[in-house]
Amino acid sequence: MNKSLFIILLVITTGLMGSSFAVGKIGLNYISPLLLVGLRFTLAGIIMSAIVIYLKRTHPKKLTEWLRIVVVGAFQTTGVMGLIFLSLRTITAGESSILTFTNPLLVIIFSAIFMGAKYRWGQWLGVIVGFLGVFITLGASLNIEQSGTLLGLLSGVSWAIATVLFKKWGSMFDTWVLTAYQMLFGGFFLLIGSVLVEKVEIEITSVSIFIILWLAIMASIVQFAIWFYLLQKEDPGKVSAYLFLAPLFGVVFGWKLLGEQFHFSTLLGGGLILCGIYFVNRPQKIDLNKSSK
């Protein structure tokens, strides 16, 4: 792929990832958290499901396969996104994005413990540096009344679990089918959760409609489409190494759209987390001299 096109698409997809935090926080002025994110992913799931059906992509045939998609959706969409939007009630969009994107660090730990995966020393160094950044970041806003800090971390945990499940089960499914239906099931669970655990509030305005459409179409469907396209066209390790741009965009959009202030400890901690994620995802260099022997 042309290098300029690769960079442009990377900036677009990670920018869309990061934008969802600030746009979602604005949306909380109009819609209760679980309802907002439930509408986002139910709508995105319906659209993507219609697309994969129209394109006649291979669908699961066994009940156990559908149940696995439901489980992935429960962690990837219901858990991650529900916790993110709940965290946005008490912490900034920038802080929530930084805490959520500890996911790559947690994946290393969970994969090593539960799947026996082996990792390079550089990746473990990334985990240590990243979590040092987490503690520094929490120091900027740690408050027993701010449950958002814990919720932000738990969203990263839920995402890491979903990632491990993707690694274990992903080869059984068409990627687009898995993505479409996990969003649909996850969004449906969020709507149920909204009815059961929160005071449902919604103010229908042109702004709230725009926010739902932006989150569902641009920050979900378009973002996923570009991300998967890059993974297919380039080395996945190379592409994943740039995932650290997403929380950076989360901080920038929080500053630009919401006027969020930068704490020095947030910037320092966020920088360390980004460095940790880079080390975790950095592709291993091949020694050509050794490989030729």
Q: CA 80 to CA 91: how far, in whole Å?
A: 16
Give the sign of the dihedral formed by CA 264, CA 99, CA 94, CA 197: negative
Q: Amino acid letter at 252?
A: V
201, 32 contact by CB (below 8 A): yes
From the number of C-beta atoms within 10 Å of its C-beta (0-12, 13-18, 19+), residue 67 rates as exposed
Q: Is residue 291 part of a domain?
A: no
Which residue ranges in the chain fall short of pLDDT 50?
Answer: 144-145, 286-293
Q: Is residue 227 part of a domain?
A: yes
42 φ/ψ angles, rounded to the nearest 5 degrees: -65, -45
Q: CA 273 to CA 265: how far, in whole Å?
A: 12
Q: Is residue 7 part of a domain?
A: yes
Closest C-alpha among 33, 148, 32, 133 to residue 92 = 148
* Per-residue model confidence (pLDDT) at position 137: 66
Q: Is residue 293 part of a domain?
A: no
Here the contacts of 106-114 (C-beta below 8 Å, separation 24 or greater) are 106/156, 106/157, 106/159, 106/160, 107/160, 107/163, 107/164, 107/280, 108/280, 109/160, 110/160, 110/161, 110/164, 111/164, 111/167, 114/164
Q: Is residue 288 part of a domain?
A: no
Tokens of 130: 């990243």
Domain hosting 272: range is 3-283
| Inter-CA distances, 262 with 10, 258, 270, Å | 25, 12, 11
Q: Is residue 289 part of a domain?
A: no
* Per-residue model confidence (pLDDT) at position 23: 95
Tokens of 269: 């901690």
Q: Amino acid letter at 117?
A: A
Q: Exposure pattern of 244-272 as b/e (b: 16+ CB <10 Å)?
A: bbbbbbbbbbbbeebebeebebbbbbbbb
Q: How many domains does the chain have?
A: 1
Q: Is residue 44 part of a domain?
A: yes
Three-state SS at 272: helix
Q: Is residue 292 part of a domain?
A: no
Number of H helices, E strands in the chain: 15, 0
* Per-residue model confidence (pLDDT) at position 292: 42
